[in-house]
Amino acid sequence: MLDLSHARNRMVEVHLSRRGIHDREVLEAMREVPREAFVAPGFEEFAYEDGPLPIAEGQTISQPYIVALMIEMAEIGPGDHVLEVGTGSGYAAAVMSRIVERVYTIERHAGLAETARQRFQELGYDNIEVRTGDGTKGWPDAAPFDAILVAAGGPGAPLALQEQLDVGGRLVIPVGDDPHDQRLLKVTRNGAATYSEEDFGGVRFVPLIGEQGWPESGNRIANDRPSGRARTRSLPEMIAAAAEPLPDFDDPAFGELFDRFGDRRVVLLGEASHGTSEFYRARAAITRRLIEKHGFTIVAVEADWPDAAAIDRYVRHRPPRANADPPFQRFPTWMWRNTDVAAFVDWMRHHNERIRLSSRLAGFYGLDIYNMSGSIAAVLQYLDLVDPQAAKIARERYGCLTPWQHEPSTYGRVALTSGFEKCEQAVLEQCRELLARQLDYAQQDGVDFMDATQNARLIASAERYYRIMYYGGAQSWNLRDTHMFETLEHLLEARGPNAKAVVWAHNSHIGDARYTEMGIVRDEVNIGQFCRQRFGDEAALIGLGTHSGTVAAASDWDSEMEIKRVRPSHSDSYERLCHDSGVSRFLLDIKRDDTLRERLLERRLERFIGVIYRPETELRSHYADASLAQQFDAFVWFDETVAVTPLGPEHVGTGVPDTYPFGL
């Protein structure tokens, strides 16, 4: 059973207080009102996440932060009479009823109004009156109001509502020329016929339908502004004008479009899912160009180090490790064991055949933290060869991890209840000792030494990661991305002062977290943020996205892969803007058009599909707020995409060497 009271308190602390909501009465009211009573059945577990949720009639219940912000802006208090336009679920009216003397709320959908009225009765909130009607006309017989809050976006502040304010009263309303793109406005009545306005920034609300709002068609009401004004281009039209169409992946012109990033130290290439073929093929085409024409030698991917090391041995023509299992056998196998990755790996091997200097060979490296078992085996195998006595000591040190190395997530549960500090000390000591013997070991084989030391670092990080993951929150995510960034730094250092790297990882890792819900709400960091802080303009962050198609994903962790249909992008998302541009595939260099970049600064929804995809809860499970123009330097778009093809036995053993890295 969900602990909703705890979730409610956490919502107030994390999503409201930390983001600047300070009105004590607002915070206490948000703690008191059970938001789960106002969401649609099946969405109760998401009630205290900071996001909008769908309700009947195509409407939404606003995210808690926006509800709290608007109420705080309205400066309501005990004794006030407040009008709300757009009852919706009734949640905002319920919150205000805990603060003021009386709330009047108008809803144009009779079904929503009746459902809200029933909820108020069940909760015993008897100081709320509900009416069905055109909210843009207000509630004249109950006026004047100390505050009016409008939960829908209009073309302007309706005159009827302004006139129903008491002197000193406040009207809070989203307004804008686009029914789906508004600014949050506060209008204060200063006198009988005088008003002042304050702009609180960009927001997204459903359209305000009514006589003094938008018509049902969604088009602007005629004659509400002076005629003859030049038409302003829509945001999709601006995107279409700035978009650079992409040719086929095999066309050299595809890679050439990315020459503008060839002088960077690090180019990070994202993806909006872990199972979309176009994302892998695009990253491969871009990376081939960066390697061949711009001297990049590091391909660092969101994969486990020991698994990627097997690929690296193959592409750099080194013998495979003895008795090594084929890489990428753990869930999600399709993420790296697919035909697109196999084709790119073969290209890397053939490219390296033509390279004379070992320092110019392109390498394939894993940044991630999960394969503790493979890392332990790699460290021990290396030490068996170069220092058998050290190998014996290492086996003793890693002994405390032995019961959990094949299922390390269970270690965290045990470590929280037992005296496992010695295990942390042991794995850290092993890492320090390998680094301390760097000169001696590196003389025997510098590449193998680097592999062993990185595996030792991974074990130390993984031990801590699996221990703290049971605390929840941002700490385990932050440890993982910190480890991945530090691994990238070690690779650049090892490959020399002029080394340049391409990173393949999910958008959630490579887009700057400071400008997404991750950093703003959840205090999470990521590789993209670290790269900007470390390398500045020498880092390029490039996101990839899609509107619809198919994707390879699972319904639950460690379950079977399925080919799933991707739902068309949400109407309030960046993806929908790209789709509405009418350009099927393009590169958007955000910094080339200042006007467009300014429009893309405003936060919108952005879709994130990982190895798990649940279309039935997509809005809640797979969308988050972001500022695209601050998150990325460029964005690559494919309107319709298809799922990756996982490797099976039919893809192995036909004309490929025995060292083929994906052999089954």
Q: Which strand (E) or helix (H) includes residue 640?
A: strand 634-641
Give how far the C-alpha of residue 330 lies from the chain's centroid of Cα atoms, to the nearest Å. Answer: 24
DSSP structural state of residue 49: S
In this structure, the dihedral spanned by the alpha carbons of residues 373, 375, 377 and 380, taken in order and rounded to 10 degrees, is: -140
CA distance 477 to 472: 9
Output b/e per residue, 51-84; b: 16+ Cβ within 10 A: bbbebeeebbbbbbbbbbbbbbbbbbeeebbbbb
Sole residue written with tokens 């993420």: 335
Q: Write the CA distances from 3 to 8, 36, 45, 62, integer angstroms.
A: 9, 11, 9, 22
Q: Write the CA distances from 105 to 28, 132, 431, 589, 644, integer angstroms.
A: 21, 9, 64, 45, 50
On the question of a cis peptide bond just before residue 252, with omega within 30 degrees of 0, the verdict is no
Cβ burial, residue 232 (10 Å; 0-12/13-18/19+): exposed
Q: Which strand (E) or helix (H) includes residue 9?
A: helix 4-10
Which residues on adjacent β-strands are paired with residue 643?
276
CA distance 305 to 313: 12
Cβ burial, residue 144 (10 Å; 0-12/13-18/19+): middle
CA distance 504 to 394: 32
Closest of 380, 401, 406, 378 to residue 463, by C-alpha: 401
Task: Please tell me the total number of residues recorded for the chain in this structure.
Answer: 664
Measured over the CA atoms of residue 653, residue 654, residue 656 and residue 658, the dihedral's sign is: positive
CA distance 37 to 8: 12
Active site residues: 62
Which residues on adjacent β-strands are paired with residue 187?
171, 197
